[in-house]
Amino acid sequence: MRTRLAAVASGLAAFVIASPAFAQKQGGTLRISHRDNPPSASIHEEATISVIQPFMAVFNNLVVFDPKEKINSPDKIVPDLAESWSWNPDQTKLTFKLRSGVKWHDGKPFTAKDVKCTWDALSGKADEKSDLIRKNPRKVWYNNLKEVTVGSDTEVTFTLGRPQPSFLSMLAAGYSPVYACHAQGRDMRSKPIGTGPFKVADFKRNESIKLVRNPDYWKKGLPYLDAIDWKIVPNRSTRMLGFVAGEFDMTFDSDVTFPLLKDIKAQKADAVCEPRPSNVNQNILINPESPPFDKPEVRRALVLSIDQKPFNDILFQGNALSGAAMLPPPAGFWGMPKEMLQTLPGFASDVEKSRAEARKIMEGLGYSKDKPLKVKVSTRNIAIYRDPAVILIDQLKHVYIEAELDPIDTTVWYTKVQRKDYQLGMNLTGLGVDDPDTAFYENFYSTSDRNYTSYKNPEIDKLIDQQSAEPDREKRKKIVWEIEKKLAEDGARPVIVHNVAATCWTPQLKGVVLQHNSIYNGWRFEDMWLDR
């Protein structure tokens, strides 16, 4: 009898565990505060979480990082619009078998032509008249993409110039949705259509974004929510108070700084808050065309002056992560181990020793306490940029660099950077995918649009190409660390800290899985539900 009861009980337990869908509730509107006005709704044209977080739920990718996993890893990529994929033997052709019966939000069928059309536009091979994508911040991602060919309505092949193991990871990023070929660019920017779980009902600039459930979503039974209501609330204090008062179910991603986290927990004890690395790092732009920063030794002295601790303590209450160009482990998949990191300039534990070395370099160049090097630190005139710039200015004094803050109207920041109209700049860099290809090709490859300092090093270019083609992950990691080391030694965008910030939500919101190595992924919202 006892055995039979135990069998029934274990059977029931197994049933309950295996059927989580029974617990989920359908319906409800999720209310989220948005920090600012998204420049447009077209994910491919923008490079900000302000666009991707609300609009990723409108689209699907071919493949996607497993939304149930916190760490985006090349081993955890799952099918989305593609049912399966396969590489040819020499790893240069990636063929996707696509789902059939998928419809765009306007009822038209999704086919392989849409995939071709999207990546033709992204790699600059689209018809001259096509206005699907007007600007393309991630052009460099597809430098190795030679062509996209349609086999049938449900088969599409990406042909690469050489093997590139990370190509699939890039397609799995939130930044890689499939666009509708028949859509107009203007519509994609204001009221886009996708195949995703939510349709755009309304996008009122400076006011709100309303997404409603797509009843024809190809994943049956999903999404659980009826609607997502984003309210654009530019004032952070109002956003936080709104969350505490129950006006919002969730804060904007990584909107909660550590001091604010304390306030929220004090006022709304049941709030679920998760601090996590955002894979956004604070770094210094050193203009190598502006003397004396054309001299490698001055760049080195500058890097040696940095003490990360005050940045971390003041801005993150000690919670930020120390790392080089790649996000450090355990959240980061590719970053170098701590013991290796400490051998890089700017990361040594004995800061005073490093600064003494820096002063020696500066003295050798004719600078001293009485005759300091006078420079300007330019940065966007917003607090998250300005605050670290002020700390940097203070630290530079230790190595005879007298710096002055030069706050730049945020809207013309990159234009100024492109003109090389700065000496030093404080910058933030976010990575769409925790992958060396995106990090290095975007920020350090000599031909990239987003290589803001125009850093040119043929040896680094070669190493970047080499790691990109390396199929063995352990060997590739070693090349990646070598690149990180050389970049740090060259003073190429020296990283100060990797940001960590929190996102909070009401306990009634279930199914939230924040991705720990990129804030730009995992915002499909199809598995989230409200228990109320």
Partner 1 sequence: MGAYLTRRFLLMVLTLFGMSVLIFVMLRLVPGNVADILVDSAGIADPKEKAKIIAELGLDRPIFDQYLQWIGGLFRGDLGFAYVSERPAIEEIAPRIPISAKLAGLALFFSVILGVPLGVISAVRQNTGLDYFLRVLSLSGLSLPSFWLGLLILMASVQWFGMIPIYTNEPRSFIDEVLLLSIPAAAVGFRSSALIMRLTRSSMLEVLRQDYIRTARSKGASQTSVNYEHALRNALLPVVTIIGIEAAFLVGGLIVTETVFNIPGVARFLVEAILWRDYPIVQNLVMLIAFIVVTVNFLVDMAYMALDPRIKFAD
Name which of 135 and 475 has its Cβ closer to partner 1: 135
- Shortest Cβ 36–partner 1 spacing (Å): 9
- Shortest Cβ 229–partner 1 spacing (Å): 8
Burial class of 220 by CB neighbour count within 10 A (0 to 12, 13 to 18, 19+): exposed
Considering only CA atoms, which of 340, 284, 301 is closest in space to residue 482? 340
Tally of residues, the chain = 532
- Shortest Cβ 233–partner 1 spacing (Å): 5
- Shortest Cβ 196–partner 1 spacing (Å): 22
Name which of 93 and 450 has its Cβ closer to partner 1: 450
Place of tokens 């530019």: 234
- The rounded distance, in Å, linking the Cα atoms of 58 and 41 is 10
- Shortest Cβ 73–partner 1 spacing (Å): 25
Burial 192-212 (b: 16+ CB within 10 A, else e): bbbbbbbbbeebeeeeebbbb
Q: Do 426 and 495 form a contact (C-beta atoms < 8 A)?
A: no
Name which of 78 and 245 has its Cβ closer to partner 1: 245
| Sequence-ordered list of residues with C-beta below 8 angstroms from that of 372, at least 6 positions apart, any chain | 397, 400, 401, 402
| Site residues (vs partner 1, CB under 8 A) | 31, 37, 39-40, 45-48, 134-137, 186, 189-190, 204-208, 231, 233-235, 237-238, 241-242, 244-247, 267, 409-415, 417-418, 449-450
Name which of 152 and 418 has its Cβ closer to partner 1: 418
The 3-state DSSP class for residue 324 equals coil
- Shortest Cβ 280–partner 1 spacing (Å): 12
Name which of 48 and 508 has its Cβ closer to partner 1: 48
Q: Do 482 and 502 form a contact (C-beta atoms < 8 A)?
A: no
Place of tokens 């919670």: 319
DSSP 182: T
Name which of 304 and 408 has its Cβ closer to partner 1: 408
- Shortest Cβ 246–partner 1 spacing (Å): 8
Name which of 47 and 358 has its Cβ closer to partner 1: 47
Q: Do 409 and 145 form a contact (C-beta atoms < 8 A)?
A: no
Give the max Cα distance, the chain: 92
Name which of 83 and 449 has its Cβ closer to partner 1: 449
Residue 178 parent element (H or E): none
- Shortest Cβ 493–partner 1 spacing (Å): 14
Q: Do 420 and 409 form a contact (C-beta atoms < 8 A)?
A: no
- Shortest Cβ 50–partner 1 spacing (Å): 9
Q: Do 504 and 266 form a contact (C-beta atoms < 8 A)?
A: no
- The rounded distance, in Å, linking the Cα atoms of 93 and 311 is 45
3-state SS string over 105-154? CCCCECCHHHHHHHHHHHCCCCCCCCCCCCCCCCHHHHCCEEEEEEEECC
Name which of 10 and 238 has its Cβ closer to partner 1: 238
Name which of 26 and 415 has its Cβ closer to partner 1: 415
- Shortest Cβ 24–partner 1 spacing (Å): 26
